[in-house]
């Protein structure tokens, strides 16, 4: 007697398949944009010039002796421009008809994540150039409380304007948190004023000497090493200039029987002051989980 099973003949094609809610590839945190200066480039302008004046020196005077030397303003400037960044996805009509989930919502989230990651990585690429390219820490060095204390001292000695942030890979920050936990909770302070706490809360881990410590998983290993470049920097050290916020458009292509979804942003990231930050090279390999 024939037994009709779920896979007999072509019967499996007559059975409905339930698809659970769409899963997304996890993204790392991307806090850098919120830790630096932001400028908006108005319509009709191609660049922004950011001036900076130098220091003057006061001298001791002698009664009855005229001042001879005079001081200069010592102005320097950085010119900021923007360039376009974007991506495109083509969605066919057939996919839209047959996809149970809203396919435009799916690709919209993926495209937004990609744009945020691109901006974050662009800012991270600036880290290694600060302080004349001289990094604090070094290869095969863990981010310990001693190292963080040295970083805080460096920031004070070099007169970094506050708020000051320190950012590194989650594995490096985990080493730091482990050392702090052994000492006590007195190092765990709130986020300093001047930073968007609501936005940054999930990326902030702790603070020492008023320096906020954040984690960013987009920091990559230096080629050939197990360490990566984080950075200690003033908010005034870098900037993000935006001429066009991320903008999404759809364009119907009848002959293709589909729709192009395009997202574009026009921005630039720049170092404003080389002396207001320093790269920080520490190990970012995975921590031991068996001991």
| Domain assignment of residue 97, yes or no | yes
Q: What mean pLDDT value characterizes the chain?
A: 83
| Residue 13 in domain | no
Window from 68-77, 143-152, 267-276 with minimum mean pLDDT = 68-77
User: Per-residue confidence at 3, pLDDT binned at 50, 70, 90?
Assistant: very low
What confidence score (pLDDT) does residue 11 get? Answer: 46
| CATH (domain of 214) | 3.90.1690.10
Residue 191 resides in a domain: yes
Single pTM value for the model: 0.81
CA angle 287, 125, 190 (to 5 degrees): 60
In the structure, what pLDDT confidence band is assigned to residue 142 with cuts at 50, 70 and 90? very high
Q: Is the pLDDT of residue 183 over 60?
A: no
Distance CA 206, CA 190 (A): 8
Looking at the domain assignment, is residue 228 inside a domain? yes
Structural domain includes residue 24: no
What is residue 168's predicted lDDT score, i.e. its pLDDT? 96
Average the pLDDT over each of 83-87, 102-106, 121-125, 213-217 and give the range with the smallest value.
102-106
Q: Does residue 238 belong to any structural domain of this protein?
A: yes
More confident position, 6 or 99: 99
Please write the tens of the pLDDT for every residue from 201-240.
666 778 888 898 999 999 999 999 999 999 999 999 999 9
pLDDT at 17 over 80: no
Q: Name the residue range of residue 169's domain.
A: 85-283
The answer to whether residue 239 sits within a structural domain is yes
pLDDT (average), residues 95-99: 81
Domain count, the chain: 1
Q: Quickly state the pLDDT bin for 200 (edges 50, 70, 90).
A: low
pLDDT of residue 204: 73
Task: Please report whether residue 62 resides in a domain.
Answer: no
Cβ atoms within 10 Å of 109's Cβ, excluding its own:
13
């Amino acid at each position: 007697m024939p037994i009709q099973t779920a896979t007999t003949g072509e019967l499996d094609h007559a059975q409905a398949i339930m698809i659970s809610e769409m899963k997304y590839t996890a993204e790392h945190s991307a806090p850098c944009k919120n830790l630096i200066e932001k400028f908006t480039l108005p319509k009709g302008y191609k660049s922004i010039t950011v001036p900076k004046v130098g220091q003057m020196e006061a001298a001791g005077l002698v009664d009855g002796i005229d001042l001879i030397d005079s001081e200069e303003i010592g102005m320097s400037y950085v010119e900021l421009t923007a360039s376009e960044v974007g991506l495109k996805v083509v969605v066919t009509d057939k996919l839209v008809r047959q996809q149970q989930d809203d396919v435009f919502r799916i690709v919209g989230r993926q495209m937004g994540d990609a744009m945020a990651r691109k901006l974050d990585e662009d800012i991270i690429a600036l880290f290694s150039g600060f302080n004349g390219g001289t990094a604090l820490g070094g290869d095969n060095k863990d981010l310990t409380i001693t190292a963080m204390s040295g970083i805080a001292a460096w920031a004070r000695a070099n007169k970094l304007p506050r708020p000051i942030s320190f950012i590194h890979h989650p594995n490096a920050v985990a080493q730091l948190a482990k050392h702090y936990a052994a000492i006590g909770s007195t190092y765990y302070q709130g986020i300093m004023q001047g930073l968007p706490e609501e936005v940054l809360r999930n990326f902030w881990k702790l603070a020492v000497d008023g320096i906020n410590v954040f984690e960013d998983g987009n920091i990559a290993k230096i080629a050939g090493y197990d360490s990566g470049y984080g950075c200690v920097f003033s908010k005034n050290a870098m900037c993000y200039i935006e001429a066009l916020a991320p903008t999404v458009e759809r364009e119907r292509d009848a002959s293709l029987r589909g729709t192009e979804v395009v997202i574009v942003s026009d921005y630039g990231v720049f170092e404003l002051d080389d002396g207001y930050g320093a790269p920080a090279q520490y190990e970012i390999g995975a921590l031991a989980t068996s001991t």
